[in-house]
């Protein structure tokens, strides 16, 4: 257990091709969300802060839950090499394009046509566990489907998609993205 990310664990995080994010609303009957992420979208910003470029998708549960209560957990599993599971616990936030924080963070990532927001995590606890039961997998490569879809869709239709599919969670919680895109400018 650590209160920040030690250098050795930072290296482990940065070598992973995939990670998972988990959030839940405050409501007891709300849906818990776990989402896989990849595509070189994660950056360790310091010993107590990470961020990932969140791409347009079918839902926006993470952002809605962060607006609701801020709780966020990220999990990394060693699918190659020695077994290990690492979890980052803390408080997350959604950063939208046009903000000063977006302007500071977005250049750290490879530009992507489907970029909809950046999720940040202020790390409060870092925990490792054995991972002895995690299977080994060979990394083949990232999928190109989302990149091709977002490039073919174009920004105008991506905005419409976000308004239709990403404005609220499956439980009806608002997202910061939906609030901004649906409000008068």
**H or E stretch at 128:** strand 115-129
pTM value is: 0.93
Is the pLDDT at 185 greater than 60? The verdict is no
The percent of residues above 70 in pLDDT, for the chain, comes to 96
pLDDT computed for residue 28 by the predictor? 95
pLDDT computed for residue 177 by the predictor? 80
Domains in the chain: ranges and CATH: 7-134+142-177 (2.30.110.10)
DSSP calls for 60-91: -HHHHHHHHT-EEEEEEE-SSSS--EEEEEEE
pLDDT computed for residue 179 by the predictor? 65
- CA quadruple 95, 55, 159, 147: dihedral positive or negative? positive
Is the pLDDT at 184 greater than 90? The verdict is no
Kindly report, residue by residue over 42-91, the tens digit of the pLDDT. Answer: 999 999 999 999 999 989 999 999 999 999 999 999 999 999 999 999 99
The percent of residues above 90 in pLDDT, for the chain, comes to 92
Span 127-149, average pLDDT: 95
- The gap between the terminal CA atoms of the chain, to the nearest Å, is 45
């Amino acid at each position: 257990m650590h209160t920040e990310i030690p250098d050795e664990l930072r290296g482990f995080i940065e070598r992973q091709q995939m990670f998972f994010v988990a959030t839940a609303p405050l409501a007891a009957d709300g849906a818990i969300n776990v989402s896989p992420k990849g595509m070189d979208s994660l950056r360790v910003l310091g010993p107590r802060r990470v961020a990932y470029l969140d791409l347009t998708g079918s839902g926006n549960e993470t952002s809605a839950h962060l607006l609701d209560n801020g709780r966020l957990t990220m999990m990394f599993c060693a699918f190659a090499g020695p077994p290990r599971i690492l979890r980052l616990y803390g408080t997350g936030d959604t950063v939208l394009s046009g903000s000063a924080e977006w302007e500071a963070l977005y250049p750290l990532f490879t530009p992507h046509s489907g970029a909809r927001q950046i999720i940040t995590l202020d790390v409060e606890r870092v925990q490792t566990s054995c991972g002895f039961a995690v299977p080994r997998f060979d990394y083949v490569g990232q999928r190109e489907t989302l990149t091709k879809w977002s490039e073919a869709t174009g920004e105008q239709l991506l905005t419409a998609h976000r308004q239709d599919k990403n404005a609220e969670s499956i439980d009806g919680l608002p997202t910061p993205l939906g609030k901004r895109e649906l409000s008068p400018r």
